[in-house]
């Protein structure tokens, strides 16, 4: 059985490595972070993902999953190396390849002959060819190593299922032998293969993410127009989503997308196109709409209250989506920072993201122990993540606990007709004023 090394155990590397171990492969998860590896050796997942920690413990106990900080020793015994390090955004919007080339340098120096390199990180089109040329140019060996582009399509919150039972496995390969080895690696994964060349595989990843970002920005643009014209975005998306050419996914109006992928990948593709002499106007539109949408409800509340200075504000939901502890590019965090800057007294709550929030926000805000505690005595409440605990709140919770029941719902969590005795503002739907009696259903 071939020995697989995951170079980097961030979100993608850890979920992929654990999923491969789950199907019986021999996997070594390697990372330079001593803290991460120490946690993993104790059976603790450094990231929140439903079901992942149990799988870590099970496969470590079975002996199919191992952890190390000795990257070079790991590369020296690997048959297949998955590159899973981050490609953070540069100041100009392009993707930084610093960590990719650090791994490539070590692979060139320590990997043995016939090692297959698999690029799992999201990288600009053309990077796989550049990386494998870089590795082979530095190797003191006659044999040339091969690279495969195998982009990931996992979604945080459902990452394990997406990895094991996703919609497709994309492989960008240059030889039949590389394809054969990768099909063996993914034996046990229940999804079809799309086999193509390196460049097309790289483009599939960017095109997929940017299309979904564009779909989100489009429906948010429609929601904003619904508010002006008096339409209800809920009915509009219901009618649109039943069309199989459109589908229901990613038609939820709100305060925009966040996370580690969509914001970074839209900017990276736009910059990549610019460098190639082409302007991707649709991608630029998605970026611009999202940037404005993030602060939509903040501007509305400011118009209602005049100023945030000295106001007691509750913020429910800090992660960029439910079922993750990831705060990267989260609309909730961006809005909290603006509220603090404006002089508001902010209390925050998130069912899973509080530990990360404390690292980001420090003592600039107060931290509640529950959603109900978070809204106590607040003059206004913002909702930025549709966690089940937050969605379970009732109009009586808001009207009974808050000093002034003004709710600005960035994820359309509640039925407008049920928000009695609450000044309720959502996205793309009619407002509900306190005391409003007309039937809204």
Identify the bridge partners of residue 209 per DSSP, sorted by sequence position.
none
At 434 the pLDDT is 63
At 441 the pLDDT is 37
Model confidence pTM above 0.85: yes
The yes/no answer on whether domain 295-425 falls in CATH 3.40.50.720 is yes
Average pLDDT over residues 349-354: 98
Contacts of 391 (CB under 8 A, 6+ apart): 413, 414
Give the C-alpha distances (Å, rounded to integers) separating 383 from 254, 291, 353: 10, 18, 14
Residues of the chain with CATH 1.10.1040.10: 204-292
> Are the C-beta atoms of 298 and 339 separated by less than 8 Å?
yes
Annotated ligand binding at 188? The verdict is: no
Confidence of residue 438 (pLDDT cuts 50, 70, 90): very low
Average pLDDT over residues 145-160: 94
Annotated ligand binding at 161? The verdict is: no
Four-residue CA torsion sign, 73, 75, 79, 82: positive
Residue ranges with strand state E in 185-229: 193-196
Annotated ligand binding at 266? The verdict is: no
The residue to which tokens 């969605």 are assigned: 391
At 211 the pLDDT is 98
Query: Phi/psi zone of residue 8: left (φ > 0), alpha (ψ -120 to 50 degrees), beta?
Result: left
Q: Which CATH code fits 204-292?
A: 1.10.1040.10
> Are the C-beta atoms of 178 and 153 separated by less than 8 Å?
no
Do strands 116-119 and 80-83 pair parallel, antiparallel, or not at all (unpaired)?
parallel
At 247 the pLDDT is 97
In the chain, the percentage of residues whose pLDDT exceeds 70 is: 98
Residues of the chain with CATH 3.40.50.720: 3-196, 295-425
18: closest CA among 28, 33, 8, 7? 28
Tens digits of residue pLDDT in 387-433: 999 999 999 999 999 999 999 999 999 999 999 899 999 999 998 76
Annotated ligand binding at 98? The verdict is: no
Annotated ligand binding at 252? The verdict is: yes
At 439 the pLDDT is 39
Annotated ligand binding at 253? The verdict is: yes
Annotated catalytic, 261? yes
Annotated ligand binding at 328? The verdict is: yes
Q: Please state which architecture CATH assigns to domain 3-196.
A: 3-Layer(aba) Sandwich (3.40)
At 435 the pLDDT is 53
Annotated ligand binding at 31? The verdict is: yes
pLDDT averaged over the chain? Answer: 95
Annotated ligand binding at 215? The verdict is: no
* 331-341 and 296-305 helices, crossing angle to 10°: 30
Contacts of 168 (CB under 8 A, 6+ apart): 153, 191, 192, 193, 194
Tens digits of residue pLDDT in 374-392: 999 999 999 999 999 999 9
* 52-62 and 34-41 helices, crossing angle to 10°: 70
351: closest CA among 378, 322, 376, 331? 322
Q: Which of 84, 261, 381, 413 is catalytic?
A: 261
**Span of 76-85, 151-160, 349-358 with lowest mean pLDDT:** 151-160
Annotated ligand binding at 193? The verdict is: no
Tens digits of residue pLDDT in 71-121: 999 999 999 999 999 999 898 888 899 999 999 999 999 999 999 999 999
């Amino acid at each position: 059985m071939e020995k697989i090394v995951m170079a980097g155990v961030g979100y993608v590397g850890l979920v992929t490595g654990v999923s491969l171990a789950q199907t019986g492969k021999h996997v070594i998860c390697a990372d330079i972070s001593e803290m991460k590896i120490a946690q993993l050796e104790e059976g603790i997942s450094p990231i929140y993902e439903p079901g992942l920690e149990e799988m870590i413990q099970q496969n470590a106990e079975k002996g199919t999953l191992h952890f190390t900080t000795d990257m070079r020793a790991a590369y020296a015994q690997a048959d297949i190396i998955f590159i899973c390090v981050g490609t953070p955004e540069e100041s100009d919007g392009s993707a930084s390849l610093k960590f990719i080339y650090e791994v490539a340098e070590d692979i060139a120096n320590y990997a043995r002959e016939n090692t297959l390199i698999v690029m799992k990180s999201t990288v600009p089109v053309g990077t796989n060819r550049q990386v494998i040329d870089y590795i082979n140019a530095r190797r003191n060996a006659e044999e040339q190593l091969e690279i495969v582009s195998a982009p990931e399509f996992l979604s945080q919150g459902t990452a394990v299922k997406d990895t094991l039972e996703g919609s497709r496995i994309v492989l960008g390969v240059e030889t039949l032998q590389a394809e054969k080895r990768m099909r063996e690696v993914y034996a046990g994964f229940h999804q079809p293969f799309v086999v193509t060349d390196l460049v097309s595989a790289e483009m599939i990843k960017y095109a997929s993410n940017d299309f979904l970002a564009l779909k989100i920005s489009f429906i948010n643009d429609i929601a904003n127009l619904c508010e002006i014209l008096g339409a209800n975005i809920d009915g509009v998306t219901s009618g649109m989503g039943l069309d199989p050419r459109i589908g229901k996914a990613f038609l939820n109006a709100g305060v925009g997308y966040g996370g580690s992928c969509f914001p970074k990948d839209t900017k990276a593709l736009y910059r990549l196109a610019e460098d190639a002499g082409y302007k991707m106007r649709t991608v630029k539109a998605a970026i611009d709409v999202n940037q404005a949408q993030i602060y939509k409800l903040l501007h509305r509340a400011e118009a209602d209250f005049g100023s945030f200075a000295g106001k007691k504000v509750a913020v429910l939901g800090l992660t960029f989506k439910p079922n993750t502890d990831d705060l990267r590019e989260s609309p909730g965090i961006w809005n909290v920072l603006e509220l603090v800057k404006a002089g508001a007294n902010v209390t925050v709550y998130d069912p899973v993201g509080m530990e990360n929030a404390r690292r980001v926000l420090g003592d600039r805000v107060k931290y509640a122990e529950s959603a109900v505690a978070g809204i106590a005595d607040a003059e206004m409440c913002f909702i930025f993540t549709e966690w089940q605990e937050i969605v379970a709140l009732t109009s009586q919770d808001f009207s009974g606990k808050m000093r002034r029941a003004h709710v600005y719902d960035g994820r359309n969590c509640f039925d407008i007709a049920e928000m009695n005795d609450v000044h309720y503002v959502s996205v793309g739907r009619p407002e509900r004023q306190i005391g409003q009696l007309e039937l809204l259903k």
